[in-house]
Amino acid sequence: MSIESLRADIVEIGRRMYARGYTASNDGNISVRLDASRLLMTPKSVCKGFMTPDMMCVTDLDGKKLQGDRDPSSEMLMHLEVYRQRPDVQAVVHAHPPTATGFAVAGIPLNRAVLAEVLTTLGSIPIAEYATPSTRELPEAVRHYIKAHDGMLLANHGALTVGADLYAAYYKMETIEHFAHISLVARMLGRENLISRDEVERLQGLRDTYGIKAPAPICAPDEIAPGQASCQVVEAPASPGSRLVPSDNPDGEIRLTYRELQQLIEDAVRSLR
Ligand SMILES: [Zn+2]
């Protein structure tokens, strides 16, 4: 792919991210490998919705600027770390999509077995530990998960996705935000039926059938080893013979109609007399 078409793709993806509300003001950043030693990256301090192809920076893999009038993204260190850890990754996208970022703020990872599509593509979406944006801390936090995941939340910050090309990385950002939105709606409705472990294993087998290149296998929470994550932890209950398992949700919301609430109050008042 020519550098001109990659510049144009970054402009288009920036426009889509801004239009969908994944970034506000100058938030977010996008990069892509040009060849074995160079990256093309969004510049710092520009709104991703209004970029032009000439604004992009060319850097080497250590972050030294080789070409461009502007300085590279303030989150360049995080991008460099991803390319260092994942030779298979060609593009990196970072944004603050509001529902997914809400989960990142609440400290709730998107790791429940809920949607088959998400399980076959991204697997689980963990939360990288809180790090001050644009410091050395952020690549360190990302390093823990990046070998085994193509998408993650960044605690109290946003989300990061990677892919085999710019659009693959961007679509994973869309998938994360869409999944977060669906999870939020299900939890507001008070119930979240989970896909059983057997079915998760069946879905994992489908990755090969569909030619989906997942960076790591899906595993159960008790299979994780300390250190850098080597598998995708998915919460899926063992329930032989069933594919969906009703949620066991002791902390779930209780909903009452106005009449039921009034009855409870009347009963309580009566018991006090
Ligand atoms: Zn950010």
Residue 253's pLDDT is what? 58
List the one residue out of 3, 169, 173 whose CA is nearest residue 86. Answer: 169
pLDDT category, 198, cuts 50, 70, 90? very high
What one-character DSSP code corresponds to residue 252? -
Q: Check the CA dihedral 209-212-218-224 and report its sign.
A: positive
CA of 80 to the centre of ligand 1 (A): 15
Residue 180's pLDDT is what? 98
Residue 201's pLDDT is what? 92
Tokens 């994973």 label which residue? Answer: 172
Tokens 């970034």 label which residue? Answer: 23
Residue 248's pLDDT is what? 61
7-11, 239-243, 255-259: least confident range: 255-259
pLDDT category, 246, cuts 50, 70, 90? confident
CA of 56 to the centre of ligand 1 (A): 18
Cβ contact 180:93 at 8 Å? no
Pick the more confident residue, 36 or 221.
36
CA of 106 to the centre of ligand 1 (A): 17
CA of 225 to the centre of ligand 1 (A): 29
> How many whole angstroms separate alpha carbon 259 and alpha carbon 94?
48
* Residue positions counted in the chain: 273
CA of 38 to the centre of ligand 1 (A): 22
CA of 6 to the centre of ligand 1 (A): 22
> How many whole angstroms separate alpha carbon 49 and alpha carbon 69?
19
CA of 149 to the centre of ligand 1 (A): 18
CA of 158 to the centre of ligand 1 (A): 6
Bridge partners, 67 (sequence order): 58
Residue 252's pLDDT is what? 56
Q: Which of 158-162, 190-194, 216-220 has the highest mean pLDDT?
A: 158-162
Provide the residues around ligand 1 (an ion) whose CB is within 5 A.
158
> How many whole angstroms separate alpha carbon 110 and alpha carbon 118?
10
CA of 28 to the centre of ligand 1 (A): 5
Mean pLDDT of 263-272: 88
Give the list of residues 6+ apart from residue 58 with CB closer than 8 angstroms, or none.
3, 34, 38, 39, 40, 41, 65, 66, 67, 68
CA of 139 to the centre of ligand 1 (A): 12
pLDDT category, 247, cuts 50, 70, 90? confident
Cβ-in-10-Å burial (0-12, 13-18, 19+) of 124 comes to buried
CA of 250 to the centre of ligand 1 (A): 34
CA of 74 to the centre of ligand 1 (A): 9
CA of 156 to the centre of ligand 1 (A): 10
Residue 182's pLDDT is what? 97
CA of 159 to the centre of ligand 1 (A): 8
Confidence (pTM): 0.89
- As given in the structure block, the two tokens for residue 102 are 């809400």
> How many whole angstroms separate alpha carbon 120 and alpha carbon 118?
6
Residue 272's pLDDT is what? 85
Residue 219's pLDDT is what? 87
Q: Which of 133-142, 209-218, 247-256 has the highest mean pLDDT?
A: 133-142
List the one residue out of 10, 25, 124, 134 whose CA is nearest residue 74. Answer: 134
- As given in the structure block, the two tokens for residue 163 are 């892919």
CA of 135 to the centre of ligand 1 (A): 11
Q: Which helix (H) or strand (E) holds 223?
A: none
CA of 26 to the centre of ligand 1 (A): 9
Burial 10-38 (b: 16+ CB within 10 A, else e): bbebbebbbeeebbeebbbbbbbbbeeee
Residue 254's pLDDT is what? 62
Q: What is the pLDDT of residues 17-32, one digit of tens each?
A: 999 999 999 999 999 9
68: pLDDT strictly greater than 70: yes
Q: Which helix (H) or strand (E) holds 142?
A: helix 137-146
10 Å Cβ neighbour count for 148?
Answer: 23
54-68, 97-111, 126-140, 162-176: least confident range: 126-140
Mean pLDDT of 105-124: 95
pLDDT category, 138, cuts 50, 70, 90? very high
Q: Which helix (H) or strand (E) holds 71?
A: none
